[in-house]
């Protein structure tokens, strides 16, 4: 079991935005989070990425309670990664962005270069290696953000609407990448989406949120 | 008008000849202003970042106090520091009064609120997603702070330049704490005030020209380094 939450409540300015009971995510699976805007999908992804602390309740990761201690949070964050709906790329080249997660982990330059080149090739962005990250299109930015996340070989990849505001060609590339890293690396993936076609194609499990509550969870067979 | 033009002509000649007295005054001004800007930046930039990125009780009051301190007159700082470092003051035994160190202390107090406030403004403008992106990629709190400071570098650079401009042009602190001692604590502004009192406009105008040239040169340098991206970011 990867994540397990019990009576997990998150409040924002006194308003309950998430209220989960009996929430489980298994390893090596692809989960699709669905629900209307404001249903709590992004909040849940931020909690799973250990970026937001729940107001109350218990969250377990890999069978251990998630601690709020700074050192523990850093260790946990280094095992999962969240790719935002509108990813932020840092100032600098595409390559500088992709190597960021490796650099903060103290990986040597030689290894960083090799790994960055590998993931840029995986997302089909190797020719943009030296390009200014802020001059990329929306689809290209998403692919670079994906490469940056994959560079650190996370156990869990969390994606907030990975294909939102992306053209069809880039949508296909992104979905192919998700499928491939789950199949080849057994990376667990939790993604929020509004597209049923993506759920049918990728998801092993679908979780439906409504007003911050899990109202439906069912197993599906990806095509 | 004739007085001004004559003074201007003589001032140019003085500058071209690299008059030793003029150069001494410029050197003292640059030295104390640079040191005080560096110290204030080392204190103000981290403080500004911490204030911008922390939530604590009384934050709004602190911001109001910082903004109020921006209007602090130099003579008030001069008086305050004087009361501490004069012979009868708490730190009188350190014999700091009428030294360059005294000017630096006063100037640091003058510009710390400016560096801090402008850093808060620069950092607050950076999208909060930069913080979360750095953290989710495994950055420590310090590494995350460096990412934010890098993204806010043009705003922070502007804060440092503005602070340098404030101290190199101030006269009250330099006069009260430095004492305008020739070749030692005489800065461009105190020398200008003295020359004006004496009715000697030539050196005053030459110093004024030098001051403006330095300010222009520093701003040109800043704009050169920040380039187009920096102008767009401001």
Q: What is the pLDDT confidence band of residue B7, given thresholds at 50, 70 and 90? A: confident
Query: What CATH number should be reported for the domain holding residue B40?
Result: 1.10.3720.10
Residue B179 has pLDDT above 50, yes or no: yes
- In the predicted model, is pLDDT for residue A221 greater than 80? no
Supply angle C-alpha A220, A144, A193, rounded to 5: 30
- Tens digit of each residue's pLDDT (9 = 90 or more) over A84-112: 999 999 999 999 999 999 999 999 999 99
HEC-encoded secondary structure of A158-205: EEECCCCCCCHHHHHHHHHHHHHHHHHHCCEEEEECCCHHHHHHHCCE
pLDDT digits (tens, 9 = 90+) for A47-63: 999 999 999 999 999 99
Chain A CB contacts of B129 under 8 Å are 84, 86, 88
The confidence band for B228, taking pLDDT boundaries of 50, 70 and 90, is low
Q: Given a cut of 60, is residue B230 above it in pLDDT? A: no
Q: What percent of chain A has pLDDT over 70?
A: 99
Q: Verify whether the Cβ–Cβ distance A91 to B150 is below 8 Å.
A: yes
Query: In the predicted model, is pLDDT for residue A154 greater than 60?
Result: yes
How far A214 CA lies from chain B's nearest CA (Å)?
A: 25
Say whether A84 and B141 touch across the interface (CB within 8 A).
Answer: no
| Number of domains composing chain B | 1
Q: What is the ipTM of this complex?
A: 0.94
**A204 Cα to chain B: minimum distance (Å):** 25
Query: What range does the domain containing B91 cover?
Result: 2-233
Structure-model confidence comparison of residues B11 and B123, the more confident one = B123
Out of A70, A86, A101, the one facing B137 most closely (by C-beta) is A101
**pLDDT at residue A44 tops 50:** yes
8 Å CB contact of A77 and B135: yes
CB B148 within 8 A of CB B158: no
Q: Which two tokens stand for residue A208?
A: 């439906």
Mean pLDDT for all residues in chain B: 90
Instruction: Compute the radius of gyration of chain B from its Cα atoms.
Output: 20
| Residues of A contacting chain B (CB within 8 angstroms) | 46, 49, 51, 70, 74, 77-78, 80-82, 84, 86-88, 90-91, 100-101, 104-105, 148-149, 152
Set of chain B residues whose Cβ sits within 8 Å of the Cβ of A49 = 136
């Amino acid at each position: 079991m990867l994540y397990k939450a019990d009576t997990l409540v998150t409040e924002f300015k006194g308003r309950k935005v998430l209220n989960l009971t009996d929430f489980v995510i298994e390893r090596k699976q692809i989960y699709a989070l669905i629900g209307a805007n404001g249903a709590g999908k992004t909040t849940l992804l931020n909690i799973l990425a250990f970026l937001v602390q729940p107001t109350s309740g218990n969250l377990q990761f890999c069978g251990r309670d998630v601690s709020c201690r700074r050192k523990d949070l850093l260790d946990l964050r280094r095992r999962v990664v969240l790719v935002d709906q509108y990813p932020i790329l840092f100032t600098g080249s595409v390559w500088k962005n992709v190597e960021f997660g490796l650099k903060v982990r103290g990986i040597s330059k030689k290894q960083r270069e090799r790994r960055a080149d590998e993931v840029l090739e995986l997302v089909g962005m190797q020719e943009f290696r030296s390009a200014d990250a802020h001059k990329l299109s929306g689809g290209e930015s998403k692919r670079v953000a994906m490469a940056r996340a994959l560079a650190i070989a996370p156990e869990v990849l969390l994606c907030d609407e990975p294909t939102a505001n992306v053209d069809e060609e880039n949508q296909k590339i992104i979905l192919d990448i998700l499928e491939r890293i789950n199949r080849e690396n057994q990376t667990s993936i939790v993604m929020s989406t509004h597209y049923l076609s993506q759920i049918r194609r990728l998801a092993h499990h679908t979780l439906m949120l409504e007003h911050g509550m899990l109202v439906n969870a069912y197993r599906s067979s990806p095509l | 008008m004739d007085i001004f033009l004559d003074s201007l002509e003589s001032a140019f000649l003085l500058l071209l000849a690299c008059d030793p007295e003029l150069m001494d005054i410029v050197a003292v001004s640059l030295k104390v202003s640079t040191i005080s800007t560096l110290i204030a930046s080392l204190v103000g930039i981290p403080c500004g970042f911490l204030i911008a990125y922390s939530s604590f009780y009384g934050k709004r009051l602190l911001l109001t106090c910082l903004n109020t301190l921006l209007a602090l007159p130099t003579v008030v700082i001069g008086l305050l520091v004087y009361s501490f470092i004069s012979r009868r003051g708490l730190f009188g035994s350190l014999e700091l009064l009428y030294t360059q160190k005294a000017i630096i202390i006063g100037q640091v107090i003058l510009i710390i609120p400016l560096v801090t406030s402008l850093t808060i403004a620069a950092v607050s403008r950076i999208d909060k997603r930069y913080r979360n992106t750095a953290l989710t990629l495994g950055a420590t709190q310090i590494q995350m702070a460096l990412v934010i400071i890098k993204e806010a570098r043009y705003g922070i650079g502007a804060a440092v330049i503005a602070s340098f401009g404030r101290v190199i042009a101030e006269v009250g602190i330099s006069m009260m704490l430095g004492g305008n001692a020739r070749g030692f604590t005489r800065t461009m502004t105190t020398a200008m005030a003295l020359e004006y009192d004496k009715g000697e406009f030539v050196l005053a105008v030459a110093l004024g020209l030098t001051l403006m040239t330095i300010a222009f040169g520093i701003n040109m340098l800043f704009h050169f380094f920040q380039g187009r991206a920096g102008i767009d970011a401001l």
